[in-house]
Structures are given as structure tokens and as C-alpha cells.
Amino acid sequence: MSAVERVKVTVDGREVEVEKGLGLVEAAAAAGIEIPVFCYEPRLGPPVGACRMCLVEVEGVPKLQAGCTLTAQDGMIVRTAEASAKAAEGQNATLEFILVNHPLDCPVCDKGGECPLQDLTFRYGPGQTRMTFSKRTLDKPIPISPTIALDRERCILCYRCTRFSSDVAEDGQLVARNRGAQSVIATFEDEAYKAPFSGNVIELCPVGALTSTQYRFEGRPWEIQNVPTVCGMCPVGCNVSATTREGKVRRIVSRNHPEVDRGWLCDKGRFAYPHVYAEDRIVDPLERVRRRGFTGLSWDDAVDRAEALLRGAEGRIVTALSGSETVEQAFALGKLLRQGLGAHSAVMPEAVSHGLDAFRAPLSAIGAAEIIVVVGEDEVADRAPIVELWIKLARRHGAEIVRVAEPKLGRKLEERVSASDRAVLIWSGRGGGGGARLAELGHRLGLDSKPGCAAFHLPTTPNGRGVADAWAASADGDEANPEPIGLLIVSGDEAAADPAVRALAEQAETVIAITMYHGLAVGWADLVLPGTSYLERDGSFVNLEGRVQRLRRSVIPPVPDELAWIAKLAERFDVELSPHAALVFEEVSERCFGGIPFGAVGEIAPLPERVAYVAPEPAPIAPIPPAEPEPQEHFLGTLRLQRYRPLFSGPAVERVPELQFQRPAAEIELAYDDAQRRQIASGDEVSVRSNGTSVALRARVSRALAGGTARIADEHAGELHRDVEVVKA
């Protein structure tokens, strides 16, 4: 590797040495000087030089130059508005032009107080208007989706949003319509901007043109607090700030961890926070009473009742975990049940393996990769949305992306992968032993010895790894698989919603459910203990990279959090347990995270070092995957069904009205040729049958889908099995 060439640039008389080719905006920042920008945003790709806010004078160039499009060259002498009257005049002109048709409705604008246009006008703009004609007026606000409102009068046409749509998310849905002064931001035929990452355009907008419908008029910047935490909706663990006002969460914004999320969020992470305020949120413990259904009871009574159920089971206890508990919660629960009651049996939401620790790398390594192999049939965005954006980034930089259904790459592909210094393997599908199989493959291809290479398993739960580790670390002892189950403890909403857990409950004599919602508790639990959301907890999560990240309590939950009552119960079983996450973490950390203190997890968490590869043992506490019936003999007309769990699903999403439009329609996606053969067109009603069950769905014909397959979202697939007949209804 050749050393990076350093060059000297002088900005406003200050000389600074930077890497050659660094953007001038960054070079000036290194000299402590701001070049103001609107359209410039390096995460959106190469600069476009559209807004002309960044005009600077460059010695030897007669015209003012757009600073954002320049790169540092040796000997370059630049003067910004601070040092050049010409540059100041240019920036002032740009702001005057921007404001000519801007409504200046700052008093009623959500952006007011945190608005780059306000700030830059204050610093660089004209003090008064010379516009005496009527300003452009337009219908406003236009809901471009149930989550985003567009005010075209405020729009300064910086094209950040459309560039995000076309060049980052690549959804191609938010575009500029018309030309010149008539240009407006628009969706096709005013249809909803329906894409997994749409909400990022709100944060990208440098004015109040794109605002969140959820946050509209909910708070002014000077009366809110931003709590730094991480998202608990998927295993990526995007770094977010929860904006709170008067003790309520009002919005979620990105906090940009450059190795994890690059400042992007998916719409689930951004818009699903109102699940905290769902109508069917449980705020009191509930007890099943014969004939009368449920009755509320006090926390003291609830703890008594729980103690009684725990004792009554005589150790025949099984715990079903969600993978959305914090590390501390899982450890506390484990310590109570395993140390206090010898109840070692647990049902984990998914398999976990440490095999991939030998391939550990930040997610940003995907963006820098030159070859990426994705194994499995699930859409990456459905499992770990931000990973999809990293893959797209790599593809835009020329990386080869290969999708294979099974971990059989073939000789040629294996050679390309093992020859590369920047190869990444990603497992996005069922099975795989929590990464164990991918680790075996990666090791065989020699990826663990190359720092630019990596392998990632995309789990289905946000903290499955952390929960499994914490549970394992909480006590010594082997699983017993009690028969019959005396008590099933269902920890968390995902477990409560899982049909397999429900099936287990049928065999259990008693059930304790820890859940946030009535809808998930009623009818099968003997005791319901109200749960909390990740937005309400202190603690830590381990993301799919193996990075330990800090959750901060953004708002006080309406119920005691899990640690509080677990600690209380622990007392009764002579188990020493703190109700404070910081103290529990220290105990876990000694066993799992090399003893790092809670405070050291930090706001921008580091990634632990790689460890040497060890051939994985069979995962100790892997669930038995639901058995797929053997495929029937294929005959003409049978399609292989791919069921998928869409990103926009689950208990939280179901409870947010603004996200309902994102949920999958009751439809089956068919390949073009398969549809032709069956004389099915998009929009037709079809009947989908297998193994004696039948589901009525609408057809959507896709030219992208491989022939012989069909896709249906889990929630619409009913009892359908792998081979389905599809006929026009």
C-alpha cells in the first residue's frame, strides 16, 4: 500500500495539511472553517453542485467555485465568505434566490430551530427581502405517504431526497417532476412513497419541506430532549436518538454510527415507536380467573402469585425467550430461574453460534467489499434492513453480488471469493446454525485470515446472541426437558406471538407471560406481567456484528421494568440480583464481554477484536426447526412456495396506524412465465392450495422472480406448505 499523499491547502489564510483529494468542505472543516452547504451530503454519492450555497473564491480561478465539488490539491488557496467579499456576495445571492419563493413560515414550521436554512440565512443571508411579487403558492402539505408530509413551498430543490431515493435506497419512488422553476418533488401519481427506508428523506431535508406526520407539531427543538440509544427492532442495532418531550417519545432520529448504520434508519425503526402507546398496552399485572377471564392485580400480589407459580412447578419450568430482552434482563431471568430454581430449560428464538467471531468486521466492511455472496432465500431487507443499504453501496462501487439459495457456491465462485481481499459472506435465510455453517464455509475459503473479509449471519431477533450468551452465563447446569411442563414462562412479545410457543403452552400446566399487549396475553396465560419496550429500558444489546451497544431509557415506562420485579422475585429465592442494569451488566461482562464496565460501552460502541476460528460445536441450545414436510412429487402446476417474514410485521408494527400501508398485501407473487401459463394477470384473484388447505389471494406478476417459485408473506400464507398449486379463482 502506498502512503496517502498529503497536500497543503490554505483556507482563509489558515494552512492545513490534508489527504490529497479530500473534499474541500472537509478540508476547510479541518482548518476550523465552515463552508455552508445545503445539497452537499457525501453519503448520497458524488457532489452535485446544485444549491450553490458553498460558493468560494479559489485563487487563480476567475469565477466563484462550488466548494463542495472541489477536492484538496496542493497549494490551493481558498477564501470563504469570511475572507472574500466576492464569496460573501455569492453566498448572499444564493440565499436571496432561495428565499425569493420560500414562504418564511418558520413560526409554524416543524424544522424551525433546527433548520439549516434558518441558520445559514442568519449567518450569510440578506437581512431583508427585495421580492415584491407574489411568491409561488402550491397545495400543501401533501402526504407523500402516511408517514411523510411534503410542503412544496418550503422546498429549496436541493434534490437530497430524490438522490437518496435513486442513489442510496435505489427505490426510485421519490422524484423531481417538471423542469426549471416548475420543478416539484413528487411520487408517481401521488401514490404513497412505499419503501423500507423512506423516512430518511425527512432527516436529509435541510428545510421543513419533508416532515414526519407523527412528529408534526409535536414539539419545538428547544423543548425536546434527544436520548442516545439503539434501535431494538432488528439485529443491526442502528444508533438512534429518541426525541422526547414531556415524558413521551415523539420521534426517532439517526445518531450515525459510521460502521453500523451510516446514519440511515429503516422505517420500522423510525416510525414504529408509537407501539409504546398502543391502546392495548398492559399497565397492570393480570391474572386469569375462571369464568371471569382476567382480572388486574397489584404488583405485590403479582409477585406473590409469580412466586407461587414458580414454586408450584417444582423445577419443571421452561422459559421461552424472545431475543428482544436486554442482556441484563436475560441474565437476571436466567439467574433467578437457574440458580434459584434449577430451571435450566429454555427455548431460544433462534440458534446462536460464536463461529463468526473469527470473521468479525464492522458492517461497513460490506460497503467496501468487492464480492458479496448472500446465502438463503430471505430478502436481506426483511431481516436486517440496513445491511441491504451496505450491499447496495458496494454494488454501486462495482462489487459483484451473488445470491445463492444454499451454501453451495460452486468451484468458480469459491475461487473468486477466496482470491479476494474484500469478500463478504452473508447468511439471509432459515437454518445455518446461527452462523455456524457460514463460519465453516468462510474458514474453508480462508476469509478469517483476511481483515477486509467478513461473514455475517442475519438473525431474526434484535438481541438473540446477547440473550443466549447471558442466559448461558447466568448459571451452570444442563437442560432437563421436563415432561410434562409445569410452568412455561413466556418472555416478551415475539415469543408470545410465536405459534410454536403457543403450541408449547398447550402442554404446560401453567403459563406466565411477560408481554406489553392484551392481544398477545389474553386467553392462554395464567399470569400476565406487563412488559416494556426497548425504548423504556436501560441495558445492552449485542448486534449481529457482535458489538455490545448501550440502550438508554428514553422515557419512564408505565410499569416497573422487568429487572425490578425479577430482582424482587430473586430475593425470595435467595438469589442475589441487582435491579440496576449497570450492576447486572458488570456481572455479565465478566463472563461474556471481557469485563468491560457499563460506562465503557459508550455512545458509539466499538467492535471487539476477532478471535481465532474454532470449529463450532453443535449449537447448545438451538431450537428444532419446524419440520418441513417432504416435497411431494412435482407435477406440472406446482410451485415452490417461499414464505417470508416481511420487515413490516410483528407486534409493534401491527400497533402503529401510520405503518399499516407498509404491511404486505394479501397477495402472491408469481413469476411471469408461471403466471402466463396459468393465464393469471396482476390483480387477479387466485386460489393457492397445498396439503388440503387453500388460501385466496391476489396475484402480482413479477418478471424478477425466478420461474417455479411463488412468494407469500407469512401472515397471509396460513397453513400452506412448500409446494403449492395456484389457480385462477
Partner 1 sequence: MAAEQFVVLAGADEKPLLRLADYRAAGGFAALEQARGMEPAAVVQEILDSGLRGRGGAFFPTGRKASFLAKGTGNPTYLVVNADESEPGTFKDREIMFTVPFRLLEGCLITAHAIECDRVFIYIRGEYLREFELLRDALEEIHRAKLLSGVTIVLHRGAGAYICGEETALLESLEGKRGQPRTKPPFPAVAGLYASPSLINNVETIATVPKIIELGAKEYAKIGVPPDSSGTRVFSLSGNVVNSGNFELPMGVTLRELIYDPDLGGGIPGGRQLKAVIPGGSSVPVLTADQLDTPLEANAMAEAGSMLGSGAIIVIDDRCCMVQLGLRVAQFYMHESCGKCTPCREGTRWMVQILDSIEAGTASQGDLDLLLDVCDRILGKCLCPLGDAAAMPVASYVDKFRSEFQEHLDSGCPMHGHSSLESILAPVDQHTHDPVAEVPA
Partner 2 sequence: MTLYAEVQELRSRYPVSRSATLPALRLAQDRYGWLSPEAFREVAEALEETPAYCMAVASFYDMYHLTPVGKHLVEVCTNISCALVGAQQVLEAFQDELGIHAGETSEDGEVTLRAVECAGGCGWGTVVVLNHRYRERVTAADVPAIVEEIRGG
Q: Which residues bind partner 2 (CB under 8 A)?
A: 162, 166, 171-179, 186-189, 703
- 40 in contact with partner 1 (CB under 8 A): no
Cα-to-chain-centroid distance, residue 3:
37
- Comparing CA positions, the residue from 202, 248, 209, 194 lying closest to residue 117 is 209
Query: Is 52 a residue that touches partner 1 (CB under 8 A)?
Result: yes
CB atoms within 10 A of CB 247: 9
Residue 321, strand partner residues: 491
Cβ proximity to partner 1: between 100 and 404 the closer is: 100
Q: Residue 253 contacts by C-beta under 8 Å, 6 or more apart in sequence? A: 203, 226, 240, 241, 243, 265, 270
* Residues 277-316: x where in contact with partner 1 by CB under 8 A, - otherwise, as a string: ----------------------------------------
Shortest spacing between CB 728 and partner 1, in angstroms: 36
Q: Which 469-508 positions form the footprint of partner 1 (CB under 8 A)? A: none
Which is nearer to partner 1, 61 or 419 (by Cβ)?
A: 61
Question: Which among 380, 655, 392 has a CA at the least distance from the CA of 533?
Answer: 655
Degrees (nearest 5) of the Cα angle 362, 368, 373? 85
551 makes contact, choosing from partner 2, partner 1, none, with CB < 5 to 8 Å by partner type, with none
Tell me the closest approach of the beta carbon of residue 683 to partner 2, in angstroms. Answer: 12
Nearest Cα to Cα of residue 427 among 395, 403, 401: 403
Residue 45 interacts with partner 1 (CB under 8 A)? no
Distance of CA 586 to the CA centre of its chain: 27
Among 49, 113, 228, 623, binds partner 1 (CB under 8 A): 49
Paired with 538 in beta bridges are none
- Look up residue 29 and give its amino acid: A
Residue 174 contact, options partner 1, partner 2, none, Cβ 5-8 Å cut-off depending on partner type: partner 2
- CA-closest candidate to residue 26, choices 81, 100, 97, 78: 78
Q: Which three cell numbers stand for residue 425?
A: 459472506
Q: Pick one of partner 1, partner 2, none as the site partner of residue 171 (Cβ within 5 to 8 A by kind).
A: partner 2
- Nearer Cβ to partner 2, position 84 or 187? 187
Closest CA to 647 of 632, 659, 655: 659
The end-to-end CA distance of the chain, in Å, is 64
Q: Is 58 in the site for partner 1 (CB under 8 A)?
A: no
Residue 97 found at the interface with partner 1 (CB under 8 A): yes
- Tell me the residue ranges of DSSP E strands in 565-677: 638-644, 667-671
Among the listed ranges 172-180, 286-294, 484-492, 495-503, the one in contact with partner 1 (CB under 8 A) is 172-180
CB of 592 vs partner 2, minimal distance in Å: 46
Query: Residue 485: helix, strand or coil by DSSP?
Result: coil
Closest separation in Å from C-beta 187 to partner 2: 6
- Measure CA 463 to chain center: 12
Tell me: does residue 128 bind partner 1 (CB under 8 A): no
624 or 704: CB nearest partner 2: 704
Residue 104 binding partner 1, by CB under 8 A: no
Smallest separation (angstroms) from partner 2 to the CB of 179: 5
Place of cell 417470508: 644
64 binds partner 1 (CB under 8 A): yes
Mapped onto helix, strand or coil, the DSSP state of residue 312 is helix
Q: Does 100 bind partner 1 (CB under 8 A)?
A: yes
CA-nearest of 212, 194, 195, 190 to 203 is 212
CB 455 within 8 A of CB 314: no
Q: Where are the alpha helices (DSSP H) in 164-250?
A: 200-204
Q: Is 69 in the site for partner 1 (CB under 8 A)?
A: yes
Q: Which three cell numbers stand for residue 110?
A: 416543524
Q: Is 184 in the site for partner 1 (CB under 8 A)?
A: yes
Looking at 89-97, 227-235, 295-303, 418-426, which segment touches partner 1 (CB under 8 A)? 89-97
Residue 703 interacting partner from partner 2, partner 1, none (CB closer than 5 to 8 Å by kind): partner 2
Residues lying near partner 1 in the complex (CB under 8 A) are found at 47-53, 55, 62-64, 66, 69, 89-90, 93-94, 96-98, 100-101, 130-133, 138, 152, 156-157, 159, 176-184, 186
